[in-house]
Structure 1
Amino acid sequence: MRKAPDGTAFRCAGPEVGPVVVMIHGLGLNQDCWQWTAPALSDRYRVLHYDLFGHGQSTPPPTTPSLSVFSDQLAALLDHCNVGSATLVGFSLGGMITRRFAQDRPDRTDALAILHSPHKRTDAAQDAILKRVEQARSEGPQATVDAALERWFTTSFRRTNPEMMDKVRGWVVANDISIYHTIYRVLADGIDEIVAPRPPITCPALVITADEDFGNGPEMTRAIAAEIAQSKAVILPGLRHMALAENPEAVNTPLRDFLDGLELTK
């Protein structure tokens, strides 16, 4: 584990001269969530993953969290690692950050892979997430984690993989109660600034979700893809939000195909 000057904890793997792929985790998690994905890429690609401010071993956010704060964190990390531009892979909140970064710094964004990430919610869905934000503010991440695990993993997988449930629960409850809800609010309120971006995102994009990811479902994935000209939407059958942990190959195969296709067109 290495640390950038701003306190961002990060790791690199893969060939020093390979194309750079940056992986950005979701709310309440940390860079360890890429342990099932990075090995499938690092034979050819220089894989860089890190902890968002307020997560894992990174320092707290330097100011009130926002998509722009996290976009700036990514830019500073690329600067520290002497990376001019990269392909960005973002999961959930991480997928929102990739879209903010692509708007802010299109010259540094080679392509996007947006995994299980939200688009504009219905009023009912927005009310539900705001209630979870308030619950996290008053009671901490442990108050919402068990319901999250139900949304994130299929019922059969939860029942037969208690060790995985303990691992992911541990990541979430390790978050600081005074910080977690402020970042949760970014997940809730940051959508409007990345929906129908102007100017539009023009880099190639892969947008993936699962048909049982009820908070970030197929309609949202297709809506995200419809706003990016060079994009492809992939819907994974029989999985939920954390497909990357429940069935890594289901995510890794289209992701690797996408990345390899980018290299072939260069």
Structure 2
Amino acid sequence: MTAADPAAVQVRPAATVMLVRDAPSGPEVMMVRRHPANVFVGGAHVFPGGAVDPADRIGPGGPVDRLPDLEASVRLGVEGGGLAYWVAAIRECFEEVGVLLAYDDDGTMLRLDDPVRRGRFAEHRAALDAGRRTLTEICTAEGLSLAVDALHYFSHWVTPVGPPRRYDTRFFLARAPEGQDARHDDRETVDVTWLRPADALELAAAGRIDVIQPTARTLEALVRFDDVDEMLGAATATAAAPDLVHEDGGVRIRLPGDPDLDRGLDAPTPTHGDLA
């Protein structure tokens, strides 16, 4: 194969996280609009995420003590290093929208209500994004541990051959922390919005926002839930006892309450497929 061969494009491990929250009209999911100049799906509405970096592979003694790498790897079906996907999802979320899923030294979820602390973490975010500081260094300085146990493994998508960049992406689901406001970074993302999954799908169908297939199928999977507790409960139950279904050249996991199981509707929920 040559460099010009599309099949020679390296497939990079990546992670993304769907932050969800309850709202009066139903649960909402955070979506970001990628900068139009981005090579990969520029201008599309996606969930915060990106490639797994070497610094995401945190070893013993690091700020991750709630999920062993062995257990994380078993959940993902990889031989080792699975925990790095959880760390990457947390890091990318902090870089892209300024929301950090981490626990204070008293075990409570990090809040940034205080203006002084909020300003300090804004500086941490800028330093992390610029490569001047690692997530481990931020946690050490602030006495934090990463809330990897708050992320629920949800799905797995791989970019097909053709695009200039390809990713092997693990999707996670997490409740949005209170006391933290999301703000786009004006570099990779140019907007942050909270949408009900059904509303996002309607906007995409009307051509008002662009979504790629994994995003659309994930929104379809989320649309039937009445609240965040129900979403997280389904994800937890699936991780504990996955029901694998082979179809359309891929593999998906049936989530509890899947419409195609319970109501006879044609609304499959793929968890392994092509990222396109």
Q: Which TM-score applies when normalising by structure 2?
A: 0.29
Select the structure with the greater relative contact order (CA < 8 A; seq sep ≥ 6): 2
> Higher helix proportion, which one?
1
TM-score, normalisation: structure 1:
0.30
